[in-house]
A and B are shown apart, each in its own frame.
Chain A
């Protein structure tokens, strides 16, 4: 049984990394959004294998909405959403490859050579029940702060993109000041 779990873990882990890599290799922008979705689904699978079933499934649930929004934004803002003409839009490419590889190497060295405690989750524990009790018990303040932060972000995001301000159309103020002293 643990052999199957190991195999599944490596399958999910490999797909998470490979689809994460494909996000930045593919030409089609909508496919990039959905490769990221696939990476999140693989990570959700890893979380379920790690006994955190609620977290894994909630991740997949959240990412359905978020990746659809990202796909719509891709179609809105990218010049080439279907990737019909291949193009590379990268800057400081070598520096970013070195940074990415460096980050991976440093974290991998920490992972392999640090001494971690070994206190696994006891078999027969119910992590969902424990999480529920903790959320509404000892860590209620964390939960409420996160809720208020999300509310603030919702109001802030709507305020940022709303077309109508208090003093009229918000786009009226977005003209740059001209070089003449009078005029718009």
Chain B
């Protein structure tokens, strides 16, 4: 108990009783934590900063979970997840993509894709194994890889190549001791996705270099320009792909925490081993909800997608018009505009936008150094909010321009009087 009393003990590092593991200590605390707390503490903020749908889970799913609670389904399930759910996942993937996974051997139900990423990494990485991760990308890939003992090799992408991985870029980073790669498409935070042709080119690199690919396809339903192609259906890929997906985004079920991993039997049983000791199983109510989601939610999912698409067109054209250049994202509910024209860095921009106009966005640097000069705007927000937010951002840019013009003017004048 002593260790918890008095701040002296906590402050004095050498005397600290609670010593943190070196692995965890090495992981940098997210530099934008402070900004987060700021945004979360503020009132009346229009938030374009969330990584989740603004829709509530479709009622048929909620209702079926309630019904199962009433019937007393409150127990553990098998470690791999309810057979009925694994069967439903297997059928769903087969119908949709002709992607066939056996519910007994190839599918594991997890607590969201987040857990599945962790399991996959721990199942494949030995200490010091190298893993390729795109910069910018979703926040957890790097830290979780490191916690699993891996050595992260960042593959830097930028606006010029539309933040896409390309064969030549991959080749530059691949060496003998690179064991795996994480790919995420449609991608958080950029909204970028890959056509079948692009994926084919990438898959050849993966096959030729014998890489394991962790493919996070959680946003696959939210794609607007071309159909989604799962990496695992391409030649030579199924035996080396760990396919990750879940219910959070397409079915607006983020809080239910349920996702799944599919892959070769050895990998899935290795992942199941870790899962059974750490998580035991995904919550049964969520699994039952997920079954209903796959069974009867085609309508609501399509309707949400159409709505997202309209919002996407709206926000991207509005952003470009007010002076933040923004590529049209192919999927997700994110836009990743450049704010370089303002002369501010991402964090400055996000902070002053929050203070001055009460609009919350995520600085691009949250997703890696390559995110500098960009912000992530989530358009999973009502049209009214989007309209209001773009007006505020426009006002922010204009007032800033004005302020800048005034300083420039003042500076010039000072210059002339000095002469």
**A is bound by B:** no
Q: Which residue numbers of A lie inside 8 Å of B, CB to CB?
A: none
